[in-house]
Chain A
Amino acid sequence: GESVGLHLPTLSVQEGDNSIINCAYSNSASDYFIWYKQESGKGPQFIIDIRSNMDKRQGQRVTVLLNKTVKHLSLQIAATQPGDSAVYFCAENPLEGAQKLVFGQGTRLTINP
């Protein structure tokens, strides 16, 4: 049958530009969030995480912003490189059933040379 999930949100940016990937999460009780990068043929790779007692966290070339009021998470990637092309997922860890991660749909990021 047809897969309704084939049409991932996409984002195309020029190499060297900054990119922002957005994610809306569902559970107001979630207190831990992770961004993953998934390249073709590979499993998700940890990028950065943030706990609900923080609004912002920075890593190497990446920044995660958390807005608990509107249940919104964003990933900023600075000075994008061709190797940044991948699908990016946000994941939340609800307090109830704390043993699992709940993933969003994902965004396909393409870096144009």
Chain B
Amino acid sequence: ETGVTQSPTHLIKTRGQQVTLRCSSQSGHNTVSWYQQALGQGPQFIFQYYREEENGRGNFPPRFSGLQFPNYSSELNVNALELDDSALYLCASSSYRGGRGGYTFGSGTRLTVV
């Protein structure tokens, strides 16, 4: 059984650019959630995808968008990057539509915006 894998592990982008982060969910999981973790803080919910549709969104602007594919992998896209977007982006998969049953988190993508 494979866990959650994220790519790339590290990324440096310039303010105003666009970025795409990728996540492969754990085998058997059909739900993917994305979280943003600023340095020294707890993860904050961005949004969740269930069977290729958005299933809830946190307090993030529309320039944060996502996709889920038929194989349940997912992408997080961020447009018009700002310095405050620098953070660790975590993907978590689960086999439940809601937050129960436990998530399996990936190791994250460290995004630095300069």
Chain A residues proximal to chain B, CB less than 8 Å: 1, 3, 5-8, 32, 34, 36, 41-46, 49, 89, 91, 93, 97-106
Contacts and interface: CB of A to CB of B under 8 A. Distances in A.
24 contacts: A1-B84, A3-B38, A5-B38, A5-B41, A7-B40, A32-B100, A43-B4, A43-B90, A43-B105, A43-B106, A45-B105, A46-B102, A46-B104, A98-B99, A99-B55, A99-B98, A99-B99, A100-B99, A101-B99, A101-B103, A103-B43, A103-B44, A106-B40, A106-B41
B6 to A, nearest CB: 8
A74 to B, nearest CB: 17
The 8 closest A-B pairs by CB, nearest first: A103-B42, A43-B105, A5-B41, A5-B40, A99-B56, A100-B45, A93-B99, A6-B40
Interface in B49-75: 50, 55-56, 58
B70 to A, nearest CB: 20
Contacts of A100: 33, 45, 48, 56, 58, 99
* Secondary structure dominating the interface of A: loop
A6 B41 CA distance: 7
A42 B4 CA distance: 12
Contacts of A32: 99-100
Interface of B: 4, 33, 35, 38-45, 48, 50, 55-56, 58, 83-84, 90, 92, 97-100, 102-108
A31 to B, nearest CB: 9
A40 B73 CA distance: 25
* Secondary structure dominating the interface of B: loop
B40 A3 contact: yes
Contact of B39 (A5, A49, A93, A97): A5
A41 B39 contact: no
B74 to A, nearest CB: 14
B101 to A, nearest CB: 9
A42 B107 contact: yes
A101 B38 contact: no
Contacts of B92: 43
Contacts of A34: 102
The listed residue with most B CB atoms (<10 A of its CB), out of A7, A44, A45, is A44
